[in-house]
Structure 1
């Protein structure tokens, strides 16, 4: 095991160096991970053998689960409402790819079971590949986010469809058909993954909301993803689908502020996970598979690319995109990896010879799609990012806050100028501080706001955790701005610890205006004059 980890460390180091060289040439570093992995893997100099890759499989699966959990944010209900074309394009291109690939491969002589498996996998995408490209080229805007979401929708459809057609392919391949076992396989692979993801995402949302520190939140998520991996392995259900559904569920049912904090925390470790996953994925690529695709593989590749472009155009137009953007979208849907590879290997294990034939075609095409596709996607997303930045700079408008939360860790008199500003903005105020609603100061505040026609709500602060209380209240009242009156000790203070106002500002995504309240801090240390030893 030590030799395996040492070989992987060398592989990761070389992959990182090559990725940095490609980044200087404005090329996606993902290509460097894949190329170095392929050259040093079993099909190259065999720095890592197939047996060593198998021993590292648990690490790859856990990395895959964490990355798919992060991608689940892109297919949450909020993301789908923001970019409706994500769902229409994902479904349209998947159905079109499946139908056309089935009939085209059957026309050139492919067996029915082989054609059925290829049809189920043709629409699958590569959400992790696209997510990494979006991050590496620093693409921004709804289009870049929607492309990742479309790939994630495609993988979810591919997993559930494959689970449904695998029993049918088993019967068509003249294998020993067991109807009850086929139903169990469908439940485990498709429905089981979705149910596990829904439960896991809801559990993470409900309990993780109470965690304040980012380190503890990250540990909480990682522990439960490991638990989900163990459950998925024990029940033999789809881990990528479960992780994707968990991320989508957590992003959908959580308050927006916590959802942003949750995924921002997990994303802090995604770069090393990308290197781990794609370097090992590159090592798993067998370059000799390209020579074994045959006429069926050539037809599969050609028809899949055409169906992706046409499906992206049709689905994008239905979702409200312009025809130029929808046409570009189809090209960005061509990369394929991850889920398609795993399902193809499963088909070879279940179906025997027909499954091995289908797996050879899929794995051979993945080599091409993974080495060429990212270059095209990176070029397109880089251009779209520049367009979005230039367009947004010209149309940026400042919006006044509709609701302002005024919070204080101690009883504080709210300045009258702040209430005047709220009246000018026509903003609603929510005051949150440790006082009783019946106190004279609160009644005076309510009366002053009434005279200035400012709608105000007072909430008493009854918790010791000021940071967590402000973050939760901001999410509950959906505040557009937060004004803090927070304590700041005078004198010597350790900058290793953040002040409450600084912690609140880091946790929230809305503007935070802070007014420090001076408090007596520890005394300043005595400054001692240093002398040279020979002068003492």
Structure 2
């Protein structure tokens, strides 16, 4: 085992160095992970073979857990909120999947493929590569609903592929010449298609209900990882599709959780996203069998060509139906061509359940995956590089943001809040929680209450007593479930070199919600041991002489 870990450490180090070299040439680092893994894996040149088959088998549990964590994160892209924000994600996912499945089945059947082989190829043709696309979106820093929607479309494709494969597997068994167990194939359908969804629903709901009570990010991350490992164990016992279960769990947690907690939950998990991408894709590259590419034959070539054509046509049709716009819809199909992960896992299942027909279908799929994974990311990165949220087909804002329901306003000294802030809260129909020194009946609190009352804004005053300002803000944000935090705090001295973070900077790092800071001039903020008194903000004058 020690030799396996040392070999993986060397593989990861070389993959990271290669990714940095490719990044200088504006190429996605994912390609470096795959190439280095393929060269150093069992199918690479014998002279530099580093990872052998036994090592891959020994590291499989680590790879599967990494896959589950990444699929859980991707589940956020197919939550009810995400699908509402980008309606074309669902329509495109369904249209291109159906077109790919039907077209590949029909063409491969016409070219002489056996019915069981054509059924498996049709079911797997629509599968995508959500983790590949998510990593590319992150690496090229693409922003907006279009890149996010592409990841969601791939996730929808994988969910449909898993359930469709589970449904056609018993039919393929009946049509196969192999003397297979039909009852076992039906059980596979229940386990793959239904068991994964049920496990994901229960797991996502459980994480949402209990995780909401956890305050620190480190504990929340530990909580999620522990339960994903438990889910991996249950999936192994019951032969449930782990990728589908993790995807459904992420979508469920993002849907049933309050918006603020959902943002915090997935932001916390994403802190370990990059190491998991390197781990998963480096080992995935080592699992690639380059020798499978020449074996695909005429059926394999037809699979590749028809799948690409169906993705482009389906992306165009689904995008137009979903209101994306014809220009983006036309380019969308190319971004749907990468394939990995779920397709590979299902192809292996087919080879185990169907004998020779399954092995033939698996050879075609695995050979095509090598091509789609090495070429597809380059095309996607080229299309998405430089994409920002300001770009939109119709010139409208591409993303929909929920307005804050509750705003926490905090200051370490008593201040008069600007009227524009209260006016904005009235436009948002948000309630205000004000945290600052003093009591509810003191003049500054009374004036804030009068302004809020005149604008019909719900107002609650919380007294800041003898405790850390940072700790009080973090605790109050969690206690009142604020969606936005507005601070009035000290600004750093001009030109000063600082080794210690200001309270506003520490707060912004700890909170999962947006934090706006309006700095006060140094002469407005008293020393900590000075009795607090009412202060005016910079736009209200210096306040001297009061």
Q: For the superposition of Structure 1 and Structure 2, which TM-score range results when normalised by the shorter chain?
A: 0.7 to 0.9
Separation of aligned partners in 2, 1:444 and 1:486: 21
Q: Deviations over 1:58-89 (max 9, x none)?
A: 11101101111111111111111110110000
Q: Deviations over 1:473-494 (max 9, x none)?
A: 6646x5xx53347899xxxxx9
* Contact 1:409–1:487 (CA under 8 A) maintained in structure 2: no
Report SS of the residue matched to 1:458.
strand
* Contact 2:474–2:511 (CA under 8 A) maintained in structure 1: no
Report SS of the residue matched to 2:204.
helix
* Contact 2:425–2:457 (CA under 8 A) maintained in structure 1: no
Decide whether aligned partners of structure 1 residues 156 and 429 sit closer, same or farther in structure 2, where only a CA change above 3 A counts.
closer
Decide whether aligned partners of structure 1 residues 429 and 94 sit closer, same or farther in structure 2, where only a CA change above 3 A counts.
closer
Pick which of 508-517 and 351-360 moved more.
508-517
Structure 1 match to 2:40: 40
Structure 2 match to 1:201: 204
Match of 1:471 among 451, 457, 477: 477
Decide whether aligned partners of structure 1 residues 60 and 106 sit closer, same or farther in structure 2, where only a CA change above 3 A counts.
same
Are positions 1:458 and 2:460 aligned together? yes
Shift of 1:360: 0.2
Structure 2 match to 1:327: 330
Separation of aligned partners in 1, 2:8 and 2:514: 42
Are positions 1:119 and 2:122 aligned together? yes
Separation of aligned partners in 2, 1:329 and 1:64: 25
Separation of aligned partners in 1, 2:214 and 2:139: 30
Pick which of 420-429 and 344-353 moved more.
420-429
Match of 1:169 among 153, 167, 172: 172
Decide whether aligned partners of structure 1 residues 81 and 402 sit closer, same or farther in structure 2, where only a CA change above 3 A counts.
closer
* Contact 1:256–1:475 (CA under 8 A) maintained in structure 2: no
Are positions 1:25 and 2:1 aligned together? no
Separation of aligned partners in 1, 2:360 and 2:452: 77
Separation of aligned partners in 2, 1:323 and 1:14: 42
Report SS of the residue matched to 2:391.
helix
Structure 2 match to 1:240: 243
Shift of 1:513: 3.5
Shift of 1:256: 1.4
Are positions 1:259 and 2:268 aligned together? no
Matches within 5 A, 1:73-472: 73-176=76-179, 178-382=181-385, 384-385=387-388, 388=391, 405-407=407-409, 415=416, 417-419=417-419, 422-423=422-423, 426-427=426-427, 429-433=431-435, 444-445=446-447, 448-449=450-451, 452-458=454-460, 466-472=472-478
Separation of aligned partners in 2, 1:451 and 1:51: 71
Separation of aligned partners in 1, 2:332 and 2:190: 33
Separation of aligned partners in 2, 1:114 and 1:420: 66
Decide whether aligned partners of structure 1 residues 421 and 344 sit closer, same or farther in structure 2, where only a CA change above 3 A counts.
closer
Shift of 1:273: 0.8
Shift of 1:444: 4.0
Report SS of the residue matched to 1:106.
helix
Q: Deviations over 1:222-260 (max 9, x none)?
A: 111111111111111000001111111111111212111
* Contact 1:422–1:429 (CA under 8 A) maintained in structure 2: no
**Structure 2: runs of 5+ lacking an equivalent:** 492-497, 531-546
Match of 2:528 among 516, 519, 529: 519
* Contact 2:425–2:432 (CA under 8 A) maintained in structure 1: no
Shift of 1:431: 3.1
Taking structure 2 as the reference length, the TM-score comes to 0.84
Structure 1 match to 2:513: 509
Report SS of the residue matched to 1:210.
coil
Shift of 1:504: 5.7
Decide whether aligned partners of structure 1 residues 497 and 423 sit closer, same or farther in structure 2, where only a CA change above 3 A counts.
closer
Report SS of the residue matched to 1:269.
helix
Separation of aligned partners in 2, 1:125 and 1:235: 25
**Structure 1: runs of 5+ lacking an equivalent:** 489-493, 522-536
Q: Deviations over 1:179-212 (max 9, x none)?
A: 5433321111111111111111111111111222
Structure 1 match to 2:540: none
* Contact 1:505–1:512 (CA under 8 A) maintained in structure 2: no
Separation of aligned partners in 2, 1:22 and 1:305: 26
Aligned-residue CA RMSD (Å): 3.3
